[in-house]
Amino acid sequence: MLRSWIVAVLAFGILVLAACGPPPIVDAGRGSGSAQPSPCSAEQTRLQVDRQAHPDERAIARELGVPVGEVQRHSALSEHAGKLAVALNRNERETYGSLEIVDKPELRVVVYFTEDGEETVRPYVRCTPLAGFVEIRTFEASIAELEAAQEEAYRIVTEELGIHADSGIDIRKNRVEIYVNDEERLEKAMSEAGVEMPEHVTVVEAGLARPS
């Protein structure tokens, strides 16, 4: 299995890491709870890895000590997951929270929604190579809510209070972070002005450093 191979953390939240626990997988080839055979063809749902390995894939396989085919399979799933993340970020922003690829106990795509995740994601992965790989989990805030909270928090700190700050969205923690040099000064200014941070926002005293 690939271990802690983190490839990206984007606004729509795709990353690769190790995780544990039995996954409730969405079988997008048939209706929820149905015992009927999938109407999807094997060609539609097959994860294509029958190509020549890229040099980077060979290098990763050597570094991790795993078969190059395993890295290719991971890369192929990542490509499909990235397209799914873009589509969900564009079309389902009110409930979509994030997406990540995990490889333990088995390779799969974990998608976070605030509600109705299985029903929402099913049309996107039905009869695709992602069918059978997708696990749904719940986030408190959607990406749209986080981005709105980030904009409002930044406005409060920089415009209303006149304090220099930076901000970012921590996808893993499902929250907005406001970075300031002096948290105590910010708290005092907020108290004097009678303002509060929006929901899902955390103040971090971090020298204006963005999250890595």
Q: What are the tens digits of pLDDT across the range 83-110?
A: 999 999 999 989 999 898 888 778 889 9
State how far the Cα of 142 lies from the Cα of 115, in Å rounded to an integer: 9
State how far the Cα of 54 lies from the Cα of 57, in Å rounded to an integer: 5
Q: What are the tens digits of pLDDT across the range 13-54?
A: 344 333 333 344 565 444 433 334 457 776 677 776 666 777
Q: What is the pLDDT of residue 43?
A: 65
Q: How many CA atoms lie within 13 A of 132 on its CB side?
A: 12
39 shares its domain with 119: yes
Identify whether 11 is part of a domain: no
Structural domain of residue 200, as residue ranges?
143-205
Q: Which residue among 86, 117, 138 closes a domain?
A: 138
Output the six-digit token pair for 128.
């695709």
Identify whether 133 is part of a domain: yes
Q: What is the pLDDT of residue 64?
A: 83
Reply yes or no on whether the pLDDT at 149 is more than 70. yes
157 close to 165: Cβ distance less than 8 angstroms: yes
Q: Which residue among 105, 138, 171 closes a domain?
A: 138
31 shares its domain with 111: yes
Q: What is the pLDDT of residue 183?
A: 93
Phi/psi at 3 (nearest 5 deg)?
-125, 120
At a CB cut-off of 8 Å and minimum separation 6, what does 72 contact?
49, 51, 53, 57
Identify whether 129 is part of a domain: yes
State how far the Cα of 106 lies from the Cα of 103, in Å rounded to an integer: 5
**% of the chain residues with pLDDT over 90:** 48
40 shares its domain with 110: yes
75 shares its domain with 173: no
Q: What is the pLDDT of residue 186?
A: 95
